[in-house]
Chain A
């Protein structure tokens, strides 16, 4: 069963996320775009995951809760969790390790918490734009402790990426694959340190119009979050195709 997927999406909880990127709007747009499997990955926060997963389910999508974690080195890492309970405790751990600065809405915009019906539940008062006191070498074991899976985000980008901030791909980090942006040049992966590295693509959409048409799929035994997570934990790239 082929599932088109995009596992890096932001809602209005993310600083710099569009205000109309509500969980319900986001889920509906993903369904309209032809995606089958999606994940919400707000910056350093999981507060809109419950709303998004519910709205995604209402739209017939397979959804996983997640977060785009900013490590101590300002490397962005996509972290997906198996369920909302695991996401909540993982979210609490990251929250406790974020710098204790309040969010300045004039600089970063509001960080809006919503339910699945687009009702505003409140605003996250802490600045989510900072870096958590979690080193990049620590991330994989930490996420796995909560049953999740993680990989470095947009490694081709010049900022907030593993390659821009660490300089090279270190297999010792333990990541099984990496994400590249849609704009990644074809020859980017020819670098010596990236030879043989498998990659997935994501929109990293912060605004509704950035949700992309499907460009990749994976062939799974069932249309379920469990099957998707099982593949991500131990990805067989023979089942994966780009188009």
Chain B
């Protein structure tokens, strides 16, 4: 499933979508950036409530398919700028992290 398809399926807010065809191959949920760095995998949809510019650095490092901000969190200006500059897909949803992780998992299962 591509990030664009995931976005449409879950009616996500698209803050930055420079690579809509990127393939989502897994998921990771977590907010402590140093924890995410060592655990999120390439192609993951990373669900987090963190919205500062360090999130962009971690997303690039882990090579995730997209960042998905949960709980209605909006990216701060610095994160939005970095996401656009660095070609990072940055999405958002009003749902909580647990619900969102469930929904992403369900959509991925249906694609199999």
Contacts and interface: CB of A to CB of B under 8 A. Distances in A.
Contacts of A131: 32-35
B19 interface: no
A74 B52 contact: no
A129 interface: yes
Contacts of A130: 34, 37
Given A99-B37, A158-B52, A159-B50, A74 B32 contact: yes
A101 B38 contact: yes
Interface residues of B, number: 12
A131 B39 CA distance: 14
Interface string A25-52: 0000000000000000000000000000
A159 B38 contact: no
Interface stretch (B4-12, B54-62, B104-112): B54-62
B61 A104 contact: yes
A70 B34 contact: yes
Contacts of B35: 131
A165 B33 CA distance: 12
A130 B35 CA distance: 9
Contacts of A73: 32
A108 B82 CA distance: 13
A110 to B, nearest CB: 15
Interface string B36-76: 01100000000000101010010011000000000000000
A107 interface: yes
A49 to B, nearest CB: 23
Contact of B38 (A99, A158, A165): A99
Contacts of A159: 50, 52, 54
Interface residues of A, number: 14
A73 B35 CA distance: 9
Nearest to A133: B34
Q: Count chain B CB atoms within 10 A of each CB in A99, A129, A165 and give the residue with the most.
A: A129
A162 B37 CA distance: 21
Given A159-B50, A159-B52, A159-B54, A99 B34 contact: yes
B34 A74 contact: yes
Contacts of B38: 99, 101
A104 to B, nearest CB: 6
Given A158-B52, A159-B52, A108 B57 contact: yes
Interface string A71-114: 00110000000000000000000000001010010011000000
A129 B52 contact: no
Contacts of B34: 70, 74, 99, 129-131
Interface in A96-144: 99, 101, 104, 107-108, 129-131
A103 to B, nearest CB: 11
Interface of B: 32-35, 37-38, 50, 52, 54, 57, 60-61
Interface of A: 70, 73-74, 99, 101, 104, 107-108, 129-131, 158-159, 165
A-B pairs with lowest CB-CB distance, top 10: A131-B34, A130-B34, A159-B52, A107-B57, A74-B32, A107-B60, A107-B61, A99-B38, A74-B34, A104-B61
